[in-house]
Chain A
Amino acid sequence: DIQMTQSPSSLSASVGDRVTITCRASQTISSYLNWYRQKPGKAPNLLISFTSNLESGVPSRFSGSGSGTDFTLTISSLQPEDFATYYCQQSYSTPHTFGRGTKLEIK
């Protein structure tokens, strides 16, 4: 199975900050990397698919990059609704494993 290593596991930041979350796959996954945001008590929501494709309705402050084994999610200017937990997921091969999550908290 492909292991996904996500970092950091938690992050404190302020509204307006720029933050970056990284995800590393244990083997190459081409561009089959997806990012989700999950708010407490809610189902996850797909933000970015295939490394950099922003989902419909997702603000442009979110962006994704990378290829092969190393990927990043960047939020250019944090908004109050962005304080949540973020997960990466590879969909290159089953099982479609997730990273362990990054909890983004208000500083």
Chain B
Amino acid sequence: EVQLVESGGGLVQSGGSLRLSCAASGFSFTSHWMSWVRQAPGKGLEWVANINEDGSEKKYVDSMKGRFTISRDNAKNSLYLLMNSLRAEDTAVYYCARDRRGGPNDCWGQGTLVTVSS
């Protein structure tokens, strides 16, 4: 069974940092791009970043470029999102998602909540 399990969310003060993790299982992790998507409370989905199969190519939404860093460890079948200089508007549920070739996100984790207090 394909499974993605996020962890690392929690309460952090404005200006602080947090690293999210996503453990993948049930599929060939090294064969897929992977993404982070977030959703602020009561709001829509916002694509954050994705990373290619070997971690050599990373794409970000402009508003998070320079503050957020996506990475992966293929030996551990894990995806990460390092978030620095956090702001109240970064408060959201962060989802890890698998990319199918061509971009659709065909498998999602349950999400991890990040709350940034001001």
Given the interface contacts A1-B62, A95-B59, does A46 sit within 8 Å of B45 by beta carbon? no
Residue A83 at the chain B interface, CB threshold 8 Å: no
Name the contact of A43 in the complex, choosing from B35, B60, B61, B95 (C-beta under 8 A). B95
Chain A contacts to B: CB under 8 angstroms? 1, 32, 34, 36, 38, 43-46, 49-50, 55, 87, 89, 91-92, 94-101
B residues whose Cβ falls under 8 Å from a Cβ of A: 35, 37, 44-47, 50, 59-62, 95, 100, 102-106, 108-111
In the complex, chain B residues whose CB is within 8 Å of the CB of A43: 95, 108-111
Assess A95 versus B61: contact at CB under 8 Å? Given A32-B102, A87-B44, A100-B44: yes
Q: Tell me the minimal C-beta distance from A26 to chain B in angstroms.
A: 15
Q: State whether A45 and B108 are in contact (beta carbons under 8 Å apart), knowing that A32-B103, A96-B35 are contacts in the complex.
A: yes
Please give, as numbers and ranges, the residues of chain A lying within 8 Å of B62 by CB-CB distance. 1, 95
Question: Do residues B59 and A46 form an inter-chain contact, with CB atoms below 8 A?
Answer: no
